[in-house]
């Protein structure tokens, strides 16, 4: 036992030291490009194509062709999402209350100095400018698929991902589909509160809006309205991915990376800054932890999770553990490089305040986010893991409060990775 604890301590120390280094934007781009339709893996490319085709079909419905009007009114079908079940449960998501908590969590945005905001714009300009065709195509699919769960399939691996697409459209995981989407806390109120212009609206910017040749295929440049901070799409993508990771802990790390990757797509399109994405990741993590610590919500969650897992096993024709196994080069979201990518998306290499040393204090119940993925660890061990693998202090949005500091620095990917390296 002493040897095991020593190895865990050493692994955590190495992980903490490694996180202090920035990752070049070109390296990040190359990692992200492996998770696009331009990937070298044929099975992965096929899965991406299946996901896109299913998305376009759902958007089009019974119409003769897909139009932008249909896109604007997209929602999960009654077959895909069991909203009747959800409504019957009568759960109060306390949306307004959680929105105000989110605004307070992100209040450090108002105190950011000009050099950080300048770097914020320069980073989105660089990522948007240098994005590959594959990144742009995936970003468009991510953007237009916000009302559905199709985007999660590629993080499940070729076999489980295909089973997920089949079960989703057959209506076999309707409770999970309804609950996950209902758990998204809109960022609309926060956008109005912070009232920050999107990068492509800043005078003198070099953003190139991306024509849609993927979903609607009308070549209309993808754009967005409303405030920029925080990102609504990232909030959606990260919330959905994190809840799915809690339901399928066999793919926990890959789904975490998918949530981060979804946010990166917003920067690729030039419609959001890095800080918009970072802020939404913080709020989404807090919201999911909040819900999972509520007994009434947890009862619904468990019911939805059990239905989801049974449906996936049925479609896989084998156990979920076997169906979720890593598929080597055909499983890019399981590539170790995705841990580097995830860490990058926590800061986007924005300036760090030198000398910042504020200690990490784990809010009560936050360790629930690692409970399903690391069931052999106690709550205190999970909290210790969160502290040891936290992002270094001083990055933007870490703010002045313990809550701001924790949610900005929480690195679930590093915590999961460090725990598994000691096995």
* pLDDT tens digit sequence for 206-242: 999 999 999 999 999 999 999 999 999 999 999 999 9
> What per-residue string of b and e applies to 91-102 under the rule 16 or more CB within 10 Å gives b?
beeeeeebbebb
Q: Is 366 helix (H, G, I), strand (E, B) or coil?
A: helix
What is the Cα–Cα distance from 169 to 77, expressed in whole angstroms? Answer: 9
The answer to whether the beta carbons of residues 278 and 108 sit under 8 Å apart is no
pLDDT of residue 208: 97
Compute the average pLDDT of residues 91-116.
97
Q: Residue 252 forms beta bridges with which residues? A: none
Question: Which one, of 353, 167, 187, lies nearest residue 263 by Cα?
Answer: 187
Question: Which one, of 19, 6, 7, 108, lies nearest residue 349 by Cα?
Answer: 19
Mean predicted lDDT score pLDDT of the chain: 94
Predicted confidence band of residue 423 (pLDDT cuts 50, 70, 90)? low
pLDDT of residue 35: 97
What is the Cα–Cα distance from 79 to 95, expressed in whole angstroms? Answer: 25
pLDDT of residue 72: 84
Percent of the chain with pLDDT over 90: 90
Q: Residue 221 forms beta bridges with which residues? A: 211
Predicted confidence band of residue 8 (pLDDT cuts 50, 70, 90)? very low
Residue 72's CB is within 10 A of a number of other CB atoms, namely 7
Q: How many residues does the chain have?
A: 423
Q: Give just the sign of the alpha carbon dihedral 25, 26, 27, 28.
A: positive
| Domain ranges, ordered by start, for the chain | 2-421
Token pair for 416: 């999961």
- pLDDT single digits (tens) 322-378: 999 999 999 999 999 999 999 999 999 999 988 778 899 999 999 999 999 999 999
- pLDDT single digits (tens) 186-209: 999 999 999 999 999 999 999 999
Structurally, at CATH architecture level, domain 2-421 sits in Up-down Bundle (1.20)
Dmax over CA atoms of the chain, in Å, equals 66
The answer to whether the beta carbons of residues 149 and 51 sit under 8 Å apart is no
Whether pLDDT at 5 is above 50: no
What is the Cα–Cα distance from 73 to 142, expressed in whole angstroms? Answer: 16
pLDDT of residue 365: 97
Provide the phi-psi class of 273: left if phi over 0, else alpha when psi is between -120 and 50, else beta: beta
Contacts of 183 (CB under 8 A, 6+ apart): 93, 239, 243, 287, 288, 291
Whether pLDDT at 13 is above 60: no
pLDDT of residue 422: 62
Q: What is the phi/psi pair of residue 211, to 5°?
A: -70, 140
Q: DSSP characters for 279-343? A: HHHHHHHHHHHHHHTSHHHHHHHHHHHHHHHHHHHHHHTS-HHHHTS--GGG-GGGSTHHHHHHH
């Amino acid at each position: 036992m002493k040897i095991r604890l020593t190895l865990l301590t050493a692994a955590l120390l190495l992980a903490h030291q490694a996180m202090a280094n920035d990752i070049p934007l070109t390296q990040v781009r190359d990692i992200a490009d492996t998770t696009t339709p331009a990937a070298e893996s044929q099975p992965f490319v096929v899965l991406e194509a299946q996901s896109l085709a299913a998305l376009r079909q759902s958007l089009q419905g019974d119409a003769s062709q897909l139009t932008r009007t249909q896109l604007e009114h997209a929602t999960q079908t009654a077959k895909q999402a069991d909203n009747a079940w959800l409504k019957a449960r009568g759960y109060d998501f306390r949306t307004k209350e959680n929105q105000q908590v989110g605004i307070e969590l992100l209040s450090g945005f108002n105190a950011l100095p000009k050099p950080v905001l300048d770097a914020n714009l320069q980073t989105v300009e660089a990522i948007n400018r240098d994005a590959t065709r594959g990144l742009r195509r995936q970003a468009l699919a991510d953007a237009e698929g916000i009302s559905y769960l199709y985007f999660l399939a590629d993080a499940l691996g070729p076999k489980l991902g295909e089973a997920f697409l089949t079960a989703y459209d057959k209506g076999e995981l309707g409770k999970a589909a309804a609950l996950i989407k209902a758990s998204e806390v809109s960022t609309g109120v926060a956008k109005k509160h912070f009232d920050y212009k999107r990068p492509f609206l800043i005078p003198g910017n070099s953003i190139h809006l991306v024509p849609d040749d993927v979903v609607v295929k009308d070549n209309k440049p993808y754009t967005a309205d409303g405030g920029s901070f925080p990102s609504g799409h990232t909030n959606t993508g990260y919330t959905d991915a994190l809840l799915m990771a809690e339901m399928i802990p066999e793919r926990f790390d890959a789904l975490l990376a998918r949530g981060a990757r979804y946010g990166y797509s917003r920067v690729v399109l030039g419609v959001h800054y890095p800080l918009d994405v970072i802020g939404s990741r913080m709020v989404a993590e807090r919201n999911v932890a909040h819900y999972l610590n509520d007994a009434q919500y947890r009862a619904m969650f468990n019911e939805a999770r059990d239905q989801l897992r049974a449906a996936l096993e049925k479609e896989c024709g084998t156990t979920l553990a076997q169906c979720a196994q890593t598929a080597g080069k055909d499983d890019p979201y399981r590539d170790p490089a995705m841990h580097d990518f995830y860490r990058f998306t926590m800061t986007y290499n924005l300036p760090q305040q030198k000398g910042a040393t504020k200690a990490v204090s784990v809010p009560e119940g936050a360790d629930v986010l690692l409970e399903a993925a690391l069931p052999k660890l106690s709550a205190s061990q999970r909290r210790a893991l969160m502290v040891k693998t936290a992002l270094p202090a001083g990055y933007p949005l870490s703010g002045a409060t313990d809550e701001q500091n924790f949610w900005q620095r929480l690195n679930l990917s590093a915590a999961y990775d460090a725990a598994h390296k000691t096995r």
